Amino acid sequence: MASNPRLFNPRLDWIVFLTSVGLSLTLLFFGRNPAVASLKLQAVEVITKASKPLVLAHRTLYLWQENMRLRDLSMALSDENAKLRDAALENERLRAMLEFRARFPLPLRSADVVAVPGPQIGGKLVIDLGRADGVSVNSAVLTPHGLVGKVTELSEHASLVQSLVGNAYGVSVMIERSRVSGILKWIEPGHWAIVGLATGEDVRVGDLVLTTGSGSVFPKGIRVGVVTEVRAQDDLKSGFCRVTPFVDFSTVEEVFVMAPAGTLPELPLTSEKPRGVR
Amino acid sequence: MSLPVALLFAAIVLLLDSGIGQFLSIGPARPSLNLLFVVYAGLTRGPIEGTLFGFGIGFSQDLLGGLPMGASAFTYSVVGFACGKLWSEGSIRMIWPWGVFVLFAAVFAEAIASFLTAQTSGLSFSSLFTSAGLTSAAYTTVFGMLWFLSPLHRVRNI
């Protein structure tokens, strides 16, 4: 241990120590000297410049961490928001269905759309009710907004519904205000028309279109849509008046199924203004 | 560690302490990186260099800090000298002696700082020391022990 510097000249360490302490105490008691104050300011200046990159690095790190945290939070909130929005929309739909069911005079069975097979323009929907639930071919399918279509095929617990999309069949309809009737046909994606109307018939834009009940498929008085365009000439191919259905067929999730018209009483005609026009 | 490297380390520690030390604070407690370095210097380099490092770092801290000029220089000189005098082979090889050295040094330094702050502010020394001093001392000790256990310390020992 003789080579250990700390044991070399044992008095030197005390000298250094006492000198340091003495100097420190001198500074402590007489440190208000202007020269010392000036030195202090310069030191602060130097250390400020030297520590700037450190502070910047720390802030960058902090910003990065905060950014990551906010990103996670944003994702979580976005997810929660989507769920809440979905729940609100579902709540609105279900509430409308409940209200509809309460004021609809015919027996209805609610069903969920469980699949949309084929292309959108095919207009097919699969619902979770079948023969075992009392559903039969040609059972009308509707939502609180209006007519969706009819059941075309069914199994024990599921049914294939053909909506008004796809021109698979015509629906006998009438103008609510003037009682003028015709056949509703799908003429192109997004467009329907009432054909078979004579020139000069009393049809106006905004007229409500209802089912007539003839044909023993759809009960009388089911809301279908609203007239959106009336043409002057009688052109059976292109349609005399265009109709926009109340139902958006691409977003149907819950529906009601009812028995074919022949087995049901007539619906009372309504003068209620349509709602939910697309 | 050679003297130039030790000086470089001292500068870096001083810079870190003043630059990002406030970001490490928890409530009124803040670890003193400078004190840790002075204890380490005293334990590894003996009383002379421990005192000189203590005085140098303390003086630099006084130039920057809120304590009266000479206060930290005095405190750290005493700490560096004491650590150098109390040095033994095991003190820096094992964690508990190191922790005890740091704790005593931190309590001493915080007591001096609390006393001087109480003198200038008119507040009670005991409340200052118990509310901020002891917590800072404990924080510095924990910080020092974490450093001791960290790969940084082990690598340097290799």
Q: Tell me the pLDDT tens digit for each residue of B9-24.
A: 888 888 788 767 767 7
CB contact under 8 A, B69 and A31: yes
A16 → closest Cβ in B23, B52, B63: B52
First-to-last alpha carbon distance for chain B, in angstroms, is 11
> What average pLDDT does the segment B139-152 reach?
86
Task: Name the token pair of A29.
Answer: 């008691």
Q: Which domains does chain A have, with CATH numbers?
A: 8-103 (no CATH), 109-263 (2.40.10.340)
Enumerate the β-bridge partners of residue A188.
A191
CB contact under 8 A, A23 and B78: no
Tell whether the model's pLDDT for residue B95 goes beyond 80.
no
Distance CA A11, CA B13 (A): 30
B71 → closest Cβ in A16, A28, A54: A28
Distance CA B77, CA B58 (A): 8
CB contact under 8 A, A16 and B60: no
Distance CA A97, CA A278 (A): 18
Other CB atoms closer than 10 Å to residue A56's CB: what's the count? 11
Is residue A221 a contact partner of residue A103, using CB atoms and an 8 Å limit? no
Residues of B in contact with A47 (CB under 8 A): 14-15, 18-19, 63-64
Give the pLDDT band of residue B55 (cuts 50, 70, 90). Answer: very high
**In degrees, to the nearest 5, what angle opens at C-alpha B101 toward C-alphas B99 and B104?**
105
Percent of chain B residues topping a pLDDT of 90 = 20
Enumerate the β-bridge partners of residue B29.
B26
Tell whether the model's pLDDT for residue B123 goes beyond 90.
no
CB of A12 within 8 Å of a chain B CB? The answer is: yes
Other CB atoms closer than 10 Å to residue B81's CB: what's the count? 27
Best mutation site among B62, B69, B76 for testing chain A: the one with the most A CBs within 10 Å?
Answer: B69
Selection from A110, A77, A85 nearest residue A96 by Cα: A110
**Residue A121: its pLDDT value, please?**
59
Tell whether the model's pLDDT for residue B78 goes beyond 90.
yes
pTM of the model: 0.48
**In degrees, to the nearest 5, what angle opens at C-alpha B133 toward C-alphas B128 and B138?**
150
3-class DSSP state for residue A204?
Answer: coil
CB contact under 8 A, A17 and B20: no
Residues of A in contact with B47 (CB under 8 A): 6, 13, 16-17
CA dihedral B81, B85, B91, B92 (to 10 degrees): 50
**Residue A148: its pLDDT value, please?**
92
CB contact under 8 A, A28 and B74: yes
**Residue B53: its pLDDT value, please?**
92
The more confidently predicted of residues A256 and B124 is A256
**Residue A157: its pLDDT value, please?**
82
Instruction: Extract the runs of DSSP E, i.e. beta strands, from chain A.
Output: 109-115, 124-127, 140-143, 146-154, 159-163, 171-175, 181-188, 191-195, 208-211, 223-230, 241-245, 254-258
How many Cβ pairs within 8 Å bridge chains A and B? 102
Q: Which domains does chain B have, with CATH numbers?
A: 3-18+29-157 (1.10.1760.20)
For residue A3, give the DSSP letter.
T
pLDDT per position in chain A (278 positions), as tens? 444 555 556 688 888 889 988 988 888 887 677 777 777 767 766 766 776 676 677 778 888 888 888 888 888 888 888 888 888 888 887 888 787 777 776 778 888 887 776 666 567 788 888 888 888 888 899 988 889 999 888 888 888 888 888 666 888 999 988 888 888 888 777 778 888 777 677 888 899 999 988 877 888 888 899 999 887 665 544 447 889 999 888 778 888 998 665 555 555 444 444 443 33
CB contact under 8 A, B70 and A27: yes
**Residue A51: its pLDDT value, please?**
64
Tell whether the model's pLDDT for residue B158 goes beyond 50.
no
Tell whether the model's pLDDT for residue B93 goes beyond 70.
no
Residues of A in contact with B24 (CB under 8 A): none
First-to-last alpha carbon distance for chain A, in angstroms, is 96
